[in-house]
Structure 1
C-alpha cells in the first residue's frame, strides 16, 4: 500500500477510532475522571462488564458501588431487549435503556438526560467500535473502548470483529501501540 492510500484509509476509519483503548472497564481510573469533571458514565453490558449473557457478578456489583461512592451517575445503554437489561440493571442499581439501536445518537442523548449530564461531562464505555464507539463519537461523547471480556459472542458480532481488527490496526499504528 502506498503512502497516499494509507492516509486515505486512515481518514476513512478515524470516525471509528476510540478516544481511549484499555484492557478492561475495571482498570479505568474513575477517581481521576471524576477529578477531571466527568459526572456521568454510560455503559454497554455484554463483553464490557460481564461475558455475553451473564448476570451481574461480584466484580460488576463492586464496581458500581465504587462509582456511587465516588459520586458518578451511570446508565446502561444496550441493544439487548428488556429481559436481558432490566435484571442486570436492577442488580447493580442502574438506570437503563434497552433496545437502544446503537449507534443511533437518540438513546445516547436520552441516557444523558436521565443522568442530568451533557456531552462535556459524560463518558461512554463499551467493547465494540461500530456500535458503542461510533455512536458515542456521533453524539460527541468521550468514549473508552475496552477489550471484550470473553471470546463467546453472537455470530453477527463475530463477523464485525473481523472488520474491527482492520480499524484497530490503523488506530494502533497512529497511536504507536503495538
Structure 2
C-alpha cells in the first residue's frame, strides 16, 4: 500500500514540469488539481495560469481540472484557462480520475496528474495507474484539516525519499556489476 502514496515524480512547481519532454514520450492528457497546485487556495486563475494552459494546448495536450471544490469555483477557473473540469470529484476515489480520462479520450498510460497533496491527489491517481507529479504547495496558509494532513504527508515523504535513495543505490550496484567490477 505504501507505494500508492508515493508520487511518480516531484517538482518544486507545476510550472517547472518538463511538459514538452513528456509529450515526446507519448503523454497526451493532464489532469490538474487547482488550489495550491496552480494558484494559491481560492485564488482566481492568474495570467501565469492562463498562459500556461495556452502553452499546454499548443503543445497538444488535453486538460481537465479535477477538484473536490464546488462548481462555481471550478467552472470559473476552467473558463479562464479554457479547460474541461470535474467538480465535487471526491478525490481520492477512482471515479473522478476515470471520468477525466474519458473526457480527454486518454488512458492511464498517456495521462499525467499534477497535484499538491498525497492523500487526495497522488493516492487517487496512483490507484488508477496514472503517472503522478507531486508539487510543492504554493501557499502555506491552509484550512486546519489540510494542515494536519500535511504533517502526516511529511512522514510519507521521508519514506519516499528513502525509497528513492535505495533505488539509486541498487541502480549504481547494477551498473558496477555490469562492468565486471571495473569502474568506467
- Normalised by the length of structure 2, the TM-score is 0.88
Match of 1:156 in 2: 145
**Alignment partners' CA distance in 2, 1:126 and 1:144:** 6
Match of 1:114 in 2: 103
Q: Does 1:92 align with 2:70?
A: no
Contiguous gaps of at least 5 residues in structure 1: 1-11
Match of 1:8 in 2: none
CA deviation string 1:133-159 (max 9, x = no partner): 000010111110001011011111111
Moved over 2 A (4+): none
Q: Does 1:61 align with 2:36?
A: no
| Greater displacement, 95-104 / 152-161 | 152-161
Match of 1:23 in 2: 12
Q: 1:37 aligns with which of 26, 45, 67?
A: 26
Contiguous gaps of at least 5 residues in structure 2: 167-184
CA deviation string 1:76-98 (max 9, x = no partner): 00000111101000000010000
**Alignment partners' CA distance in 1, 2:130 and 2:3:** 15
CA deviation string 1:149-175 (max 9, x = no partner): 110111111110000000001111221
Q: How many residues matched?
A: 166
**Alignment partners' CA distance in 2, 1:71 and 1:62:** 14
Q: 1:76 aligns with which of 65, 74, 86?
A: 65
**Alignment partners' CA distance in 1, 2:5 and 2:112:** 16
Match of 2:161 in 1: 172
Residues 117-156 of structure 1 mapped to structure 2, 5 A cutoff: 117-156=106-145
Match of 1:3 in 2: none
- Normalised by the length of structure 1, the TM-score is 0.91
RMSD over aligned Cα, in angstroms? 1.1
Alpha-carbon shift at residue 14 of structure 1 (Å): 2.2
